[in-house]
Amino acid sequence: EVQLLESGGGLVQPGGSLRLSCAASEFTFSTYEMNWVRQAPGKGLEWVSYISASDGTIYYADSMKGRFTISRDNAKNSLYLQMNSLRAEDTAIYYCARDLGGWAGFDYWGQGTLVTVSS
């Protein structure tokens, strides 16, 4: 069965950095577009970033541009999110999600990793 496993979350001070990882298994990772989506405690879903399967196309939500960097390593079946200049409002569970493309939605999600930005 398709699996997505996020890691790298934790407590970080305002202004700090963190790198999230998402390990994919049981599907051909290199052929799927991927996304990061976050959810602040008790709040709704917020899309963060998109990366294409292989041609390097990348999109970000406006509030993340310039601070977050999405990347992937298809040889390692892994997705990443480098987060810099973190703010208290970035506190959230961060999910990686497989994009069906087409556009048919995000069909598989990881269980998420919690990022807490606090002094």
Beta bridge partners of 21: 7, 80
Q: Kindly indicate which of the ranges 13-21, 69-77, 81-89, 98-106 contains the residues binding another protein, using the contact rule CB under 8 A.
A: 98-106
Decide: is 106 part of the binding site for another protein (CB under 8 A).
Answer: yes
Decide: is 61 part of the binding site for another protein (CB under 8 A).
Answer: yes
CB of 25 to another protein, least distance (A): 16
Decide: is 111 part of the binding site for another protein (CB under 8 A).
Answer: yes
Give the helix, strand, coil percentages of the chain, each rounded to 5.
Answer: 10, 50, 40
Q: Kindly indicate which of the ranges 11-19, 25-33, 74-82, 92-100 contains the residues binding another protein, using the contact rule CB under 8 A.
A: 92-100
Asked if residues 95 and 6 have their Cβ atoms less than 8 Å apart, the reply is yes
DSSP state of 74: G
Comparing CB distances to another protein, the nearer of 80 and 106 is 106
Calpha distance 85→68 (Å, rounded):
9
CB of 108 to another protein, least distance (A): 8
- Would you state the torsion angle of the CA atoms of residues 95, 64, 79, 40, taken in this order, to the nearest 10 degrees? -10
| Three-state DSSP state, 76 | helix
* Residue ranges binding another protein (CB under 8 A): 35, 37, 44-47, 50, 59, 61-62, 95, 97, 100, 102-107, 109-112
